[in-house]
Amino acid sequence: MNDVAAAAGVALKTVSRVVNNEPGVNAATALRVHAAIDRLGYRRNDSARTLRRGRTASIGLVIEDAADVFYSSLSRAVEETALHHGCLLFTGSSQEDAARERDLVLAFCARRVDGLIIVPAGTDHTYLAPEFEAGTRAVFADRPPGAGCEADVVLSDNVGGARAGTAHLIAHGHRRVAFLGDLPRIFTAAERLRGYREALAAAGLPYDEDLVAMGPAEPARLRADLTRLLGASDPPTALLTGNGRTTVETLRALASITGSAPGPVTTGAFPDRAPPGLGGLALVGFDDFELADLLGVTVVAQDPARLGRTAADLLFLRLAGDDGPVTRFELPTRLIPRGSGERPPPPRRDRG
Amino acid sequence: MNDVAAAAGVALKTVSRVVNNEPGVNAATALRVHAAIDRLGYRRNDSARTLRRGRTASIGLVIEDAADVFYSSLSRAVEETALHHGCLLFTGSSQEDAARERDLVLAFCARRVDGLIIVPAGTDHTYLAPEFEAGTRAVFADRPPGAGCEADVVLSDNVGGARAGTAHLIAHGHRRVAFLGDLPRIFTAAERLRGYREALAAAGLPYDEDLVAMGPAEPARLRADLTRLLGASDPPTALLTGNGRTTVETLRALASITGSAPGPVTTGAFPDRAPPGLGGLALVGFDDFELADLLGVTVVAQDPARLGRTAADLLFLRLAGDDGPVTRFELPTRLIPRGSGERPPPPRRDRG
DNA sequence: CTGAAAGCGCTAACAG
DNA sequence: CTGTTAGCGCTTTCAG
């Protein structure tokens, strides 16, 4: 900028004014400055600019895994909103690791991001207190912050969604509904388990621990749990899977267990024959996923993009000075019947 | 930092030394400084730090769409490598818009990112020249830079992959193979079309323009093109789809045209019956996708994560001072037979 | 081992 | 309309 000023024969400040389109610069002078800028290939250093101005015009986003469709949709929505507000976006994946989440957040804070959107992996966010004190704002998405951390949060209605999915299966005659969930320490997994239990209770059905399998969405673990479930003396006739990954891996596991892939819905909306590969099981999955429509898999859909958009909107509201009380948004889920969740249980065999 | 220095009764520089673990500080002094840091909740401002040091320890990534699985995998790999090098990552989606690509890149450059990884939407990258001159490094991924821009690039073997996919269908007896590609202005689409043509030529088959449909991967457009293709007097018996989105939307379109969803591979590896929904068509898709295995869809797989990793590694090599000649990596693709690509054409009806 | 001074590139505040 | 001065928070350089 100094060089430009020298080249144009003006003061530093005049160059600054021109570069920022500030009013009150003689057109001729501005022209001279512009010429110098072009000649020297000058580009403003926004790093220095933000240092001076106090705001970095950047926000940080910590998600679980950028490669996961759920979080990448959320991320995309946040990006859109950020750009719309003239903000650049730092992204990082916590990999469901609390320490890594903290490191990322603190790294973003060290760069003095104006705000944060966090899908928390950990449950202790006391490390954020100094940052909050320093004026950094944060909005939590998909999961709430740990106890003792007051911050806005945008969630899906996990309990309601799981309840609806379970009730849907029960309404179609199922009395033995299994739940395949994520690790129970994960907020959404615990909430969905709660919804599942509530639906059972509402229908007067007993809660049977043997019908519940919580764990990571890994093929080996799901295969083992499914084998156990299906081999039991009183096996489930329906499955509620706790998230997108789990649903997909369950379909895969079932295909290998029953010896064929899950079948599609035939022409009509809801076929009355069993989709091959589900082995006669009914299935409702939490989270919509690509090709679920073709496969005829009934799901409880979240809207990850809306989750991200809402969180980002909220953050920018805060950054604009909104100092209202901490809020908690809960976005609705939507049950999409596609066949796999509308199948009745097989006729009851007599026992003995 | 001033406050900390005052509180600890030392000079500014001593605090700086402690914060950066620089050697040559009395243990007792360091302790006093640490105490002051904790008491005041001090956190170093990395923005100021990078301004002074010249390097921002951040890189910018411009992809087409963060919500697309292909680019989100690439993105995740870049992120991993960046973090490994102590770098933070700015992300932005160009949405296949050259102007937006440029704006994002220049915004990143204004923040003085150390380097860039770009999946270009545009074909004119002269706007980068001043940045290169200023020392910013860039690596292109998935697609090469426009003419006149010298930069490293990491690609998939698009020609070879498309050639292999087409040859695979021809080897299974098909002589009427259609190609459903992306917009021809997109580098990868053009390359894959070239591979398709090469395979035809190698097999002594004519290139029939009526068998080629290039355009955006949108349901309506694909439905129209497929309807036209299948309704022709000499319709194709096999399809090569030009990317993941197109494959998925083609499956969807075919399902709605033929009145049923595509069917799964049955127990054996390659069923000899037509997967329902493909209407007897054989299909090879460019790009692997979630559940392609269960649906039995043969694909030419790219490795987006490796694309990202390679590009990032290359960038950090450059940032470390490697000034070798500009390189062009081409990663291999892999044909994964799953059934849909191994179906023979239907017995030839006599015409007339 | 510690400190004072200068300055990274920019903008805010106040002159002229 | 233009310029000067100070300083954002840090590190570099050099001197104690």
Are B176 and B142 in the same domain? Answer: no
Could you give the number of structural domains in chain A? 3
Q: Answer yes or no: is B37 within a domain.
A: yes
Which residues, other chains included, contact A161 with Cβ-Cβ below 8 Å and sequence gap of 6+? A192, A195, A286, A300, A302, A333, A335
Of the pLDDT bands very low, low, confident and very high (cuts 50, 70, 90), residue A267 is very low
Which residues in window 6-45 of B are less than 7 A from strand D by Cβ? 12-13, 16, 19-20, 43-45
Q: Which of A28-32, A232-236, B288-292 is predicted least confidently?
A: A28-32
Contact A278, A320 (CB under 8 A): no
Mean pLDDT for B233-245 is 96
Nucleotide nearest to A51 (CA to C1'): D8
Q: How far apart are CA B322 and CA A310, in angstroms?
A: 44
Are A99 and A173 in the same domain? Answer: no
Task: Using the structure, give the distance in angstroms from the CA atom of A137 to the C1' atom of D6, rounded to a whole number.
Answer: 30
**pTM, full prediction:** 0.92
Are A168 and A282 in the same domain? Answer: yes
Cβ of residue A50 lies below 7 Å from strand D = no
Q: Which of A180, A245, A172, A251 is nearest to A212 (CA)?
A: A180
The length of chain A is: 352
Q: Flag whether pLDDT at B265 surpasses 60.
A: no
Mean pLDDT of chain A, nearest integer? 91
Q: For nucleotide D8, give the residue with the nearest CA to its C1'.
A: A52
Query: What percentage of chain A has pLDDT greater than the value 90?
Result: 76
The answer to whether the CB atoms of A295 and B50 lie below 8 A apart is no
The answer to whether the CB atoms of A92 and B89 lie below 8 A apart is yes
- Residue-level pLDDT at A264: 43
Nucleotide nearest to A53 (CA to C1'): C11
Q: How many CB atoms lie within 10 A of CB A329?
A: 17
**Distance set, CA B189 to CA A229, B138, B164 (Å):** 47, 23, 15
Q: Which of A22-31, A143-152, A270-279 is predicted least confidently?
A: A270-279
Are A59 and A141 in the same domain? Answer: yes
B245 to chain A: which residues are within 8 Å by CB? none
Mean pLDDT for B222-245 is 96
Q: Answer yes or no: is B87 within a domain.
A: yes
The alpha-carbon gap from A205 to the nearest alpha carbon of chain B, in Å, equals: 34
Are B1 and B29 in the same domain? Answer: yes
Are B176 and B288 in the same domain? Answer: yes
Domain extent for A25:
1-44
Here the CATH number for the domain that contains residue B96 is: 3.40.50.2300
Mean pLDDT of chain B, nearest integer? 91
Q: How far apart are CA A129 and CA A163, in angstroms?
A: 35
Are B63 and B138 in the same domain? Answer: yes
The answer to whether the CB atoms of B76 and A88 lie below 8 A apart is no
Q: How far apart are CA B341 and CA B332, in angstroms?
A: 19
A256 to chain B: which residues are within 8 Å by CB? none
- Residue-level pLDDT at B259: 62
Are A194 and A249 in the same domain? Answer: yes
Task: Using the structure, give the distance in angstroms from the CA atom of B31 to the C1' atom of D14, rounded to a whole number.
Answer: 26
Which residues, other chains included, contact B294 with Cβ-Cβ below 8 Å and sequence gap of 6+? A251, A252, A255, A261, A262, A277, A295, B264, B265
Task: List the A334-336 sheet strands across, edge first.
Answer: A212-214, A177-181, A238-241, A282-286, A298-301, A334-336
Cβ of residue A33 lies below 7 Å from strand D = no
Q: Answer yes or no: is A49 within a domain.
A: no
- Residue-level pLDDT at B269: 30
Which residues in window 4-23 of A are less than 7 A from strand C by Cβ? 12-13, 16, 19-20
Q: Which of A224-228, A261-265, B106-110, B113-117 is predicted least confidently?
A: A261-265
Q: Answer yes or no: is A237 within a domain.
A: yes
Q: Give the pairing type, strands A334-336 and A298-301.
A: antiparallel
The answer to whether the CB atoms of B290 and A293 lie below 8 A apart is no
The answer to whether the CB atoms of B264 and A252 lie below 8 A apart is no
Which residues, other chains included, contact B233 with Cβ-Cβ below 8 Å and sequence gap of 6+? none
For tokens 């507000």, the residue is A85
B44 to chain A: which residues are within 8 Å by CB? 110
Of the pLDDT bands very low, low, confident and very high (cuts 50, 70, 90), residue A256 is confident
Q: How far apart are CA B300 and CA B302, in angstroms?
A: 7
Are B256 and B220 in the same domain? Answer: yes
The alpha-carbon gap from A345 to the nearest alpha carbon of chain B, in Å, equals: 23
- Residue-level pLDDT at B257: 81
Mean pLDDT for A43-58 is 92
Are B82 and B174 in the same domain? Answer: no
Q: Answer yes or no: is A215 within a domain.
A: yes
Of the pLDDT bands very low, low, confident and very high (cuts 50, 70, 90), residue A13 is confident
Task: Using the structure, give the distance in angstroms from the CA atom of A2 to the C1' atom of C15, rounded to a whole number.
Answer: 21
Are A111 and A188 in the same domain? Answer: no
Q: Flag whether pLDDT at B260 surpasses 90.
A: no
Cβ of residue B14 lies below 7 Å from strand C = yes
Q: Answer yes or no: is B274 within a domain.
A: yes
The answer to whether the CB atoms of A265 and B262 lie below 8 A apart is no
Q: How far apart are CA A183 and CA A185, in angstroms?
A: 5
Are A162 and A292 in the same domain? Answer: yes
Query: What percentage of chain B has pLDDT greater than the value 90?
Result: 76
Q: Flag whether pLDDT at B152 surpasses 70.
A: yes
Cβ of residue B52 lies below 7 Å from strand D = yes
Q: Answer yes or no: is A145 within a domain.
A: yes
Q: Answer yes or no: is B348 within a domain.
A: no
Q: Flag whether pLDDT at A294 surpasses 60.
A: yes
B96-125 pLDDT, tens digit each:
999 999 999 999 999 999 999 999 999 999
Q: How far apart are CA A119 and CA A115, in angstroms?
A: 14
